[in-house]
Amino acid sequence: MANPVILSLDDDPAVSRAVARDIRRRYGDRFRVVRAGSGPEALAALREIKLRGEQVAVLLADYRMPEMTGIEFLEAAMDLFPAARRVLLTAYADTGAAIDAINLVDLDHYLLKPWHPPEEKLYPVVDALLEAWSSSPESTATELRVVGHRWSAPSFAVRDFLARNLVPYRWLLADDPEGGRLLAAAGASADDVPLVVAADGRTLVAPSEAELAGLVGMSVAPAADFYDLVVVGGGPAGLGAAVYGASEGLRTVLVERLATGGQAGQSSRIENYLGFPDGVSGAQLTDRARRQALKFGAELLSTREVVGLAEAGSARLVRFGDGGTIAAHAVVLATGVSYRMLDAPGLTEFTGRGVFYGSAATEAPSCVGEDVYIVGGANSAGQAAVHFSRYAARVHVLIRGADLTASMSRYLIDQLDGIDQVTVHPHTEVVAAAGDEHLQRLTLRDTRTGERREVDASWLFVFIGAEPRTGWLDGVLVRDERGFVTTGPDLVAGGQRPPGWSLPRDPYHLESSMPGVFAAGDVRAASVKRVASAVGEGAMAVSLVHRYLETQ
């Protein structure tokens, strides 16, 4: 297979030669260096690279160019190689504009020109980016192809799983010539989709998530039967607990049902997270946290659903949906929350066929030139509206209240006010959906007057409410009336500890009604529903795990 590509773009021939020379000198034995003198030329080169099935590791683009700026190029390049690391070359006078534009392209770094000596100012940056890229699924995966129908819920589920786990793939329609050829070669028909074809010729027809995970090299089986710490859930709280647990010497395993990142991992842009003044996408933050956990030795299990929790002497037993079990000294529950289903006639049958819960980032490029409807008034809905406004002709945000001030951060409200394509519809709810093979129409109702109107719509994204995934803990742990796990002082009522509590002390702050089992992040009752607080609780839970273990 050809070496991965490092592409440099600069319209100044002298600078372009210098960048390519310095990059080739250090990395030419492992990477193919491609240089271009304009954005269109660079995009044409990327399209050829894509067609040949090669990979791109790093993109370096100059900021100021006449035909297409570096930001515009990197934004277009993301559609071809979303996992490539992105660097902007700027002059001192351009840094402010470059930083402002970072929100558009999830920039990994910006370099000031001149970068000499490269040993100090260029190579350390590129080394770090290549290390990050090489640990991503794209670095080891050759082209994965998915054949399916445009409006097929199972086909969407496969694409969504791969995208959320940052696995690159090529999407082919079953009625396209190439898609038809692949189906025929696999002995399948258009009724059998989705079909997944690996580069080595292995095929999966209508695969389960576990089969997909195994195909792309994700870990699905625990390496041991017993751990110091089991973390259930791979959102910000779970990843935080895994990083701190593993880094502090605990043998740690994180168990995730679908994909690391949780709801935060689906966010197109998180702008109020400490330390990222220019914002960071949920996928980028998740990728960094996942790599950090692996770096410290945490084990990450994918597509394993936890359905049971029990005491086994001093150990805590975690049971999987397939009947398997693992045990540990302590457990951190970080299962987060899921979006509540929208209850209206017709919506259930169109889920995955025009109706989506969460951002469904895989669908954004398909919305070009069309109207998108978003239900919800919290930050996740606002972030999605900003993201979809880059593709859709118009984005309609439907809220039941009078305005967004009660539920959305001010910075997001201000952003939406400044985007012409976004319209907020107050006092509006969805009461019905209709269509043939996919969503085609929505019925909207004014909550004040009861007046109904029908609109043409093929895209509906729902961000309402938050329900904890804790049904499997019924009768095992104390939960509040909404199902969130009760912890710490809230478990002590009238000086009485929770029923069945076996220790001569009160529960620690994040400890549940079962000693040694802690809850962190959104799943915990009375928690602050923010990424930063979830990460903090994950770290705090590990410190309490240490305190718990010291007394055992």
Each residue's pLDDT expressed in tens, for the chain with a length of 552 residues: 578 999 999 999 999 999 999 999 999 999 999 999 999 999 999 988 876 778 899 999 998 888 898 888 998 888 788 889 999 888 776 666 666 656 666 788 888 887 888 898 899 999 989 988 887 655 554 578 999 998 999 999 999 999 888 888 889 999 988 899 889 888 899 999 999 998 778 899 999 999 999 999 899 999 999 999 999 999 999 999 999 999 999 999 999 999 898 888 777 778 888 887 777 778 888 888 998 999 999 999 999 999 999 999 999 999 999 999 999 999 999 999 988 899 999 999 999 999 999 877 778 888 999 999 999 999 999 999 999 998 999 999 999 999 999 999 999 999 999 999 999 999 999 999 999 999 999 999 999 999 999 999 999 999 997 789 899 999 999 999 999 999 999 999 888 999 989 999 999 999 999 999 999 999 999 999 889 999 999 999 999 999 999 988
Q: What are phi and psi of 415, to 5 degrees?
A: -60, -45
Task: Fill in the amino acid letter for 321.
Answer: G
- The residues, ordered by sequence, that sit 6+ positions from 492 with a Cβ below 8 Å of its Cβ are 498, 506, 507
Amino acid (one-letter) located at 226: F
Rounded Cα distance, 119 and 447, in Å = 63
Which residues make Cβ contacts (< 8 Å) with residue 507, sequence separation at least 6?
A: 487, 488, 489, 491, 492, 497, 498, 501, 513, 515
Q: In the prediction, which pLDDT does 116 show? A: 83
The residue among 511, 465, 520, 517 whose CA lies nearest residue 234 is: 520
Token pair 């549940």 is found at: 512
- Length in residues, the chain: 552
pLDDT at 93: 63
Peptide bond into 154 cis (omega under 30): no
How far does CA 361 lie from the centroid of its chain? 9
The reported pLDDT for the residue numbered 462 is 95
Distance of alpha carbon 7 from alpha carbon 26, whole angstroms: 14
pLDDT of residue 113: 81
Buried b (16+ CB within 10 A) or exposed e, 19-46: bbebbbebbeeebbbbbbbbbebbbebb
DSSP β-bridge partners for residue 327: 226, 317
